Amino acid sequence: MWKKIENYYWTLKYLKKSQLLYLLKNRLERGKKAVTEVQAPKTCPLVLWMRGLDEDPEYLKRFDVEEILEGSVTLLYESGRPEGENWEHPDRSHLWNFNLHYLEFLIPLAAAYRREKDIRYYDCFKDYCLRWIEDNRGGSGDGWHPYTISLRLTNFWICMDGFGDILQKDTEFLQKLNNSMYAQYLHLQKRMERHLLGNHYFENLKAVLLGARYFQEPKVYHRTKKRFTEQIKEQILPDGVHYERSMMYHKIILEDLMRVERALRSRNGSLQRAEKNTHLSGLGKVMQRMADAAYSLEKGMGHTPMFNDVGDNVARPLAGILEALEEEFHIRPKERRAFPRSGYYVLQNEELKVIFDAGEIAPVYMPGHAHCDGLSFELSWKGEPLFVNSGTGQYQGPLRAYFRSTAAHNTVVINGEEQSVCWGEHRVGNRISEVSAACEGRWVEGSLTTCTGRRQTRRIGLEDKAVVIKDQVKGSAAGYLHLALEYEYMLLEDYILVQDRSGKKICEIHVMPEDTVQIYKDGILCSYAPEFGNTEQISVLEILWNGDRTEHEIRIQFLC
């Protein structure tokens, strides 16, 4: 009981006063149903479809269009039929139920229609829309959560632009859809997630901003534009990284900015003279900084870098984002090595790339997607992941606590204690402090103080065919190195060998003579989730030593 009280104290301590007020407001309004029967005003179509984003083959492979045509949907490795009151599926995960209400699976239908001009894709889209409206007419459940509304409205507008004339000519259906969308848009304005802030509030504002343009409500537009601009300045750090330090959410927010910028332009890509006062100035520069960060951190890693909450099957693939940025906005990313505000640093040569995390738990008032990954790293070899953090896998469930733990990352556990207290599904209590970093040449160094006052320092250096890790801690230390799926450890007399599944030798890991090492091949410690809903087992190396604040060295020597 006292531990829970302490966790609440540290969690509430960092909240903004406005969050506390809106938390109270939400409690008082809990249970109020949305008004679902309204008449939409005159609308103005939005231009949101982008070939690079919405017709990207890697993105479309996430969806089975034939399955969708038959009335079933697979999302995040779970399948089900969108049907029944509120589309509730108690036998599925909460995350799956949430994702179902985004209706993102309708975008592949629009892409297929544009490609094949087969009317069955449009008919299927229409049927899902009408069923969602009818089954969720009660105005409650996950479908009326402000976050699902925000994503669903945006996906509706993307599909409407994607289907084009066939939808615009179907006036009776279009009016029904507009009426429902207007009800959702009005309800969203009443339930903005100001108690959470972060990416949720950003999504709310984006959807209302687009909705105000679509439903031609200039007062709502200009009010929301002001708030949206404020959030861009707060959430996008000067180094271009989204302030939640998750590259998955970073790419989602970048896509949001791309959609907004595209919607505010005419079909030929230029601003209408009479509409220039509606434009968000400087959005192109923000997208450039975010593109630089995404490209610099992900290029050559083989996956989205897994720091904090990340899965490779949620945000759009980086290749599609970059293609759309160049095609629609003439933005080409520039490669950088240091992101000091967010705490990410890159060491790289022709075959090796290391990303080092010396960032804070952030944002301080909403760290729901944070992990205990301070001073952890990921390493790719020849463009493929080799040493990885464990991922995320789920937001609810028995492995949630593990994926956020210190041991789930390529860093050091001191005296068996967590760096920060990650509790519940999305909360952080007492946390790391005094975080700092510096980068010089082929070395990067970071330091932090854990929530229990333990000082931790790590230096990582990159040589032609070696990576050197030097740790300084005081106390019983346990360092972890998590291998990607395709590789395994073999304990030899003088070193630990890393080889691929075919037996090809990749590198040797040399530790200090007094160290104790243990290889794990199954169990919770070996849980690895590169995508949401998909957890596999990998090999993990544990290195134990007694830290006395002198440098402890681990050397990874590559053989080919």
Per DSSP, what are the bridge partners of residue 433?
449
Tell the residue number behind the tokens 């449009």, with chain if given.
Answer: 122
3-state secondary structure of 535: strand
* Other C-beta atoms lying within 10 Å of the C-beta of residue 492: 9
Dihedral sign (CA 36, 131, 148, 422): positive
What pLDDT was estimated at residue 276? Answer: 52
* Contact call for residues 241 and 250 (beta carbons, < 8 A): yes
Token pair of 525, please?
């410690």
Write out pLDDT tens, residues 367-377.
Answer: 999 999 999 99
DSSP for 60-73, written as a single string: HTTS-HHHHHTT-E
Distance of CA 36 to the CA centre of its chain: 31
In angstroms, what CA-CA distances link 147 with 174, 250, 451? 23, 17, 32
What's the mean per-residue pLDDT of the chain? 96
Q: CATH says 339-558 is which class?
A: mainly beta
Q: State the Cα–Cα distance between residues 175 and 429, nearest whole angstrom.
A: 48
Residue type at 536?
E
Q: What is the mean pLDDT of residues 454-478?
A: 97
**How high is the pLDDT of residue 268?**
44
- Report, as an integer, the average pLDDT of 326-350: 97
Is the pLDDT at 274 greater than 80? The verdict is no
User: What are the angstrom distances between the C-alpha of 146 and each of 61, 90, 163, 255, 418?
Assistant: 28, 20, 26, 19, 33
Q: In what order do the strands lie in the sheet with 412-414?
A: 412-414, 474-482, 540-548, 516-520
pTM of the model: 0.96
Segment 57-75 shows an average pLDDT of: 98
Query: What's residue 374's pLDDT?
Result: 98
pLDDT digits (tens, 9 = 90+) for 522-531: 999 999 999 9
Query: What are the boundaries of each domain within the chain?
Result: 40-216, 339-558
Is 460 in contact with 469 (CB distance < 8 Å)? yes
Q: How confident is the model at residue 560 (pLDDT cuts 50, 70, 90)?
A: confident
Residue 6 exposed, middle or buried by CB count within 10 Å (0-12, 13-18, 19+)? middle
pLDDT of residue 28: 85
Which DSSP string do the residues of 372-388 spell out, in sequence order? S-TT-EEEEETTEEEE-
Q: What is the mean pLDDT of residues 109-123?
A: 98
Question: What is the average pLDDT across 344-363?
Answer: 97
In this prediction, residues 59-67 reach a mean pLDDT of 98
Q: Which residues pair with 471 in a beta bridge?
A: 458, 552
Tokens of 135: 């089954």
- pLDDT at residue 109 is higher than 90: yes
Please state the rounded mean pLDDT for residues 119-134. 98
pLDDT surpassing 80 at residue 277 = no
- Residue 265: predicted pLDDT: 81
At residue 2 the predicted structure's pLDDT band, cuts being 50, 70 and 90, is: confident
- The Cα angle at residue 384 between residues 378 and 387, in degrees rounded to 5: 30
Q: Is 63 exposed, middle or buried (0-12, 13-18, 19+ CB in 10 A)?
A: buried
* Residue 29: per-residue pLDDT: 85
Asked if pLDDT for residue 271 goes beyond 70, the answer is: no
Interval 107-112 mean pLDDT: 98
Q: Is 300 left (phi over 0), alpha (psi -120 to 50) or beta?
A: left
Give me the percent of the chain exceeding a pLDDT of 70. Answer: 98
SS3 string, 191-226, reads CCCCCCCHHHHHHHHHHHHHHHHHCCCHHHHHHHHH
- Contact at 8 Å (CB) between 410 and 376? yes
Looking at domain 40-216, which of 1.50.10.100, 3.50.50.60, 3.30.720.120, 3.30.450.20 is its CATH number? 1.50.10.100
Q: Scanning the structure block, which residue is given the tokens 């699976």?
A: 105
Per-residue model confidence (pLDDT) at position 270: 43
Mean pLDDT of 422-436: 97
Q: What is the DSSP string of 441-478?
A: TTEEEEEEE-TTS-EEEEEEEE-SSEEEEEEE-EEEEE
Which alpha helices (DSSP H) does 42-118 contain, by range?
Answer: 51-54, 57-60, 65-69, 94-100, 107-116
3-state secondary structure 353-364: EEEEECCCCCCC
